[in-house]
Structure 1
Amino acid sequence: MASKPKELLAELSHPGPHEVLRGNLSLVGLPGVVFTPQSGLSLPAIAFGHGWLQPPGRYRQLLHHLASWGIVAAAPATQLGPLPSHRLFAVDLLNTLDIVTGVRLGPNGISVDPERLGLAGHSTGGGSAVLAAAAEDAPKLKAVATIALAQTLPPASEAARKITVPGLHLAIEGDLVAPSVGHAEAVAKNWGGPVQLRTLPKSTHLGVTEGKHWSQMLLHGKPRRSTQRLVQALFTAYFLTHLTGTDKYRALLDADFKKATIDPLNAELATTH
């Protein structure tokens, strides 16, 4: 019997069945972190882009959560200054995917399937993930997901026209840093493939981040556990569906619920894509 969306949301809000290992990408030439299941071959993987001024450590629980569900999750720790290059960060995201697919990870020789790759990101890291997905030298991706996406230079909204893989964009209602109308919605409208835009109420631009950081004096908002749990569940459902081919969690992705309402824009997009 198929599970109901609320049951799936509750299931994916908890850690998955895998023990998780943490590694350092700098050992293979790029600053950053990687989280993997304890063992496995031909695993799915994502590269995650941090937000403006946010170190990858502020997303530790999200990356750990994905790994506990069998997804290798790596995040480069580059372009952390106040004037980052979004274009170069997109290159770093692609290099991260090259690294995790090109070397055995962990003491058990974990491997990643180059046919099961995705990109994700928060804020400008989400915008850079879009730039990376649109790059001519991007690997064969299966999906892209963002939270509180912020526009980039060059514009992520223009790069989105070149992307044909599925996209999931979670916007924050009342986001003072990256208002959804000019950022996530603009990207979703131009998306070249299947796309879903959801709006999360009662949160802030930094809701998905963890712990305390000096950048909270500059950016609106603070970490919010309910936002973190929701993003963990939706990202996990999304990437398990598109990277592994399972339909077990599709009901959650299709469901509209108050914590993450599907934007009416999706009705328009369904007629154009």
Structure 2
Amino acid sequence: MSHRKLILLVFLTVVAFVLSVTAQADPLSQPGSFRPGWRSITVTRANNTTFTARLYYPATASGQNAPYDAAGAPYPAITFGHGFFQAVSSYQSTLEHLATHGYFVIASDSESGLFPSHQNFADDIKRCLTYLEQENANSASTLFAQVVTSKFGASGHSMGGGASILATAQDSRIKALANLAAAETNPSATAVMPAINVPVNLLSGSADTIVPVASNGQLMYNGGNTPKILPVIQGGWHCGFQDANGFGCDTGTITRGQQLAETRRMLTAFFNLYLKSDETAAKKVWGSELENTLVQAQRNSGIEISPQTQNVNAPVGVPTTFSVTITNRGSAAASYSVFVEQRRWIVITSPQQSAVLNPDQSAIITFRVRRLWKNSSLLNGHVVSIRSNTDNLTRSYANVTLR
């Protein structure tokens, strides 16, 4: 091999490596286009008592009391609950991360002592949303007309995760729930899961010894309605969702940086889909882009597609048909729209929208395709996507390969 060819080979190898590393770093795990600002606020309860909270927001500079950036307003908002005996500041990096992606995040400091009331904490988590509504309607406030008040999200870690479940079950203003290692509470967060009728994402860690998945997240998932997700970070631990370990923390088998990167990726994708109606995030929530070597997930979108994968014999120039069966696995009647993504040939779908299906009722969707010439096996894959017409966001996917 000549010296020039050797240099070229080394260069191409380095480029391929760099591209592979870059591909592994999902943009949603990285900071967004805004800088993160935050400030302390005082929230007044209905009985005129008060509590403090932190408000994180898109800013033009980073840090406490940084100038607010209204360039992308109005922004959706998320209310967040801290863990038992934990300060809001221990979640600083993740809450700031959401702010960089164009969210307000409001996190109550209340119920941080040794004997917290879980219901009172849930009430304060809800009251934070009332604060944002009031500020959004106040012409003298810097938040005047800056908040999307029609779609609030809820989140929290450990005790705060359980309290966020209580809050979501009690408050119809919350349209999406994604929490971190949610713990059982009193009253029971697990018991109220059937009362929640919004998308739920129960992020957990497989090495969590404080709030084990089997006795917490799994039971919450089992009792919940669709759409619901239980992503488990492999090797993730309870305190790995925080910026640093405190007294009594456990340990995991991955680094904190790895766990927080996966956490931020999944939180941002989920809230982008359900609070911003960003359909480009659907595959990161319901499709092949959720799971990786560090994340295994149980999912039930309420839309079952059968078969999930199929190989179809499609000779060149010969019209070919294939079909899938969709079944409503949700708790309410619904209809669905049908799409074929990543297609290389014209595909005719019949019907393009299903009739209204009752729970456990099915419909057959037929596809007709004709390949015009042979192509590489890498170009034969098609993705069938079935989207709920209830929210126009939740999807399920199936893979079809033409041969």
Alignment TM class, shorter chain as reference: 0.7 to 0.9
**Where does 1:1-273 land on structure 2 (aligned, <5 Å)?**
7=23, 10-26=26-42, 29-37=50-58, 38-39=69-70, 40-104=72-136, 107=142, 109=144, 111-135=146-170, 138-211=171-244, 216-221=246-251, 224-254=256-286, 255=288, 256-263=291-298, 266=300, 272-273=329-330
Larger Cα-atom Rg: 2
Task: Tell me, in whole angstroms, the C-alpha distance in 2 between the residues paired with 1:211 and 1:219.
Answer: 9
Task: Tell me, in whole angstroms, the C-alpha distance in 1 between the residues paired with 2:189 and 2:329.
Answer: 20
1:62 CA displacement: 0.7
Structure of greater relative contact order (alpha carbons < 8 Å, 6+ residues apart) = 1
How far does the alpha carbon of each residue in 1:92-114 deviate from its partner, in whole angstroms, 9 at most, with x for none?
10001111222049757562122
Which consecutive residues of structure 1, in runs of 5 or more, have no partner in the other structure?
1-5
More helix by percentage: 1
Q: Is the Cα–Cα contact under 8 Å of residues 167 and 195 in structure 1 kept in the other structure?
A: yes
Task: Tell me, in whole angstroms, the C-alpha distance in 1 between the residues paired with 2:23 and 2:178.
Answer: 22
What TM-score, normalized by structure 2, do the two folds share?
0.61
Q: Is the Cα–Cα contact under 8 Å of residues 43 and 53 in structure 2 kept in the other structure?
A: no
User: Could you tell which deviates more after superposition, 221-230 or 175-184?
Assistant: 221-230
Structure 1 runs (4+) greater than 4 angstroms displaced: 6-9, 104-110, 265-272
Task: Tell me, in whole angstroms, the C-alpha distance in 2 between the residues paired with 1:184 and 1:161.
Answer: 14
Q: Is the Cα–Cα contact under 8 Å of residues 227 and 302 in structure 2 kept in the other structure?
A: no
Letter in 2 for 1:13: S
How far does the alpha carbon of each residue in 1:40-87 deviate from its partner, in whole angstroms, 9 at most, with x for none?
433200001111111100011111110111111110001111221111
More strand by percentage: 2
Q: Secondary structure at the match of 2:238?
A: coil
Q: Is the Cα–Cα contact under 8 Å of residues 238 and 253 in structure 1 kept in the other structure?
A: yes
Shift in alpha-carbon separation, 1:129–1:59, aligned structure 2, 3 A:
same
Shift in alpha-carbon separation, 1:97–1:108, aligned structure 2, 3 A:
closer
Task: Tell me, in whole angstroms, the C-alpha distance in 2 between the residues paired with 1:43 and 1:209.
Answer: 25
Task: Tell me, in whole angstroms, the C-alpha distance in 1 between the residues paired with 2:194 and 2:268.
Answer: 25
Q: Is the Cα–Cα contact under 8 Å of residues 205 and 213 in structure 2 kept in the other structure?
A: yes
Provide the aligned length of Structure 1 versus Structure 2.
262
User: What is the match of residue 3 of structure 1?
Assistant: none
Q: Secondary structure at the match of 1:96?
A: helix
Letter in 1 for 2:102: G
Letter in 1 for 2:196: I
Task: Tell me, in whole angstroms, the C-alpha distance in 1 between the residues paired with 2:272 and 2:302.
Answer: 26
Task: Tell me, in whole angstroms, the C-alpha distance in 1 between the residues paired with 2:132 and 2:237.
Answer: 32
1:141 CA displacement: 1.9
1:21 CA displacement: 2.3
Q: Secondary structure at the match of 1:31?
A: strand
Task: Tell me, in whole angstroms, the C-alpha distance in 2 between the residues paired with 1:128 and 1:55.
Answer: 15
1:225 CA displacement: 1.6
1:211 CA displacement: 3.2
Task: Tell me, in whole angstroms, the C-alpha distance in 2 between the residues paired with 1:207 and 1:158.
Answer: 26
Q: Is the Cα–Cα contact under 8 Å of residues 117 and 143 in structure 1 kept in the other structure?
A: yes
Task: Tell me, in whole angstroms, the C-alpha distance in 2 between the residues paired with 1:49 and 1:221.
Answer: 22
Task: Tell me, in whole angstroms, the C-alpha distance in 1 between the residues paired with 2:193 and 2:110.
Answer: 23
Q: Is the Cα–Cα contact under 8 Å of residues 22 and 36 in structure 1 kept in the other structure?
A: yes
User: Could you tell which deviates more after superposition, 104-113 or 157-166?
Assistant: 104-113
What TM-score, normalized by structure 1, do the two folds share?
0.88
Identity of aligned residues (%): 24
Task: Tell me, in whole angstroms, the C-alpha distance in 1 between the residues paired with 2:300 and 2:216.
Answer: 16
Q: Is the Cα–Cα contact under 8 Å of residues 25 and 76 in structure 1 kept in the other structure?
A: no
Task: Tell me, in whole angstroms, the C-alpha distance in 2 between the residues paired with 1:8 and 1:171.
Answer: 21
Letter in 2 for 1:234: M
Let me know the Cα RMSD of the aligned residues.
2.4
Task: Tell me, in whole angstroms, the C-alpha distance in 1 between the residues paired with 2:292 and 2:173.
Answer: 32
Task: Tell me, in whole angstroms, the C-alpha distance in 1 between the residues paired with 2:149 and 2:301.
Answer: 33
Shift in alpha-carbon separation, 1:235–1:229, aligned structure 2, 3 A:
same
Q: Is the Cα–Cα contact under 8 Å of residues 121 and 147 in structure 1 kept in the other structure?
A: yes
Shift in alpha-carbon separation, 1:211–1:98, aligned structure 2, 3 A:
same
